């Protein structure tokens, strides 16, 4: 029995779930595709993490309502910029940099960028 199944059985009135890793959203979608939990699909608000093919498929079919998508292009660009600054001696201390996320839903699934 999965953690999702156990949670939904223990809390049938649950209003939402957030999948904190790339496997969380697809795991919830898989459970919502079963006969036992199928009636919850669309009523249980599911927010997932990362835009893997199974997560995007679940967003399209209504099992997931939103996906928090990282910005790998921004991450890579900033990493190179800061590496160059460190090599040139312009930046000596590491910094915490928020590269942001994009929230993807049915309205922007075809147009979002990383």
Residue 112 belongs to some domain of the structure:
no
Residue 76 belongs to some domain of the structure:
yes
Residue 93, pLDDT score? 78
Residue 17 belongs to some domain of the structure:
yes
Could you write out the DSSP letters of every residue in the chain? --HHHHHHHH-TT--EEE--STTHHHHHHHHHTSTTTGGGBTTBEEEEES--HHHHHHHHHTS-SEEEEE-HHHHHHHHHHHHHHHHTTS--S-------EEEE-TTTTTT---
Q: What is the pTM of this model?
A: 0.81
Query: How many structural domains does the chain have?
Result: 1
59-100 residue pLDDT tens: 999 999 999 999 888 999 999 998 999 899 997 777 788 888
Mean pLDDT for the chain overall: 92
Domain span at residue 11 reads 3-104
């Amino acid at each position: 029995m999965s953690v999702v199944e156990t949670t939904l059985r223990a809390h049938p009135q649950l209003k939402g779930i957030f999948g904190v890793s790339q496997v969380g959203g697809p795991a919830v979608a898989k459970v919502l595709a079963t006969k036992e939990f199928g009636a919850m699909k669309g009523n249980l608000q599911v927010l997932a993490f990362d835009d893997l093919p199974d997560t995007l498929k679940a967003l399209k079919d209504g099992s997931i309502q939103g996906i928090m998508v990282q910005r790998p292009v921004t991450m890579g660009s900033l990493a190179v910029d800061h590496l160059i600054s460190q090599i040139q001696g312009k930046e000596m201390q590491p910094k915490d940099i928020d590269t942001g996320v994009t929230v993807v839903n049915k309205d922007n699934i075809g147009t979002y960028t990383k």
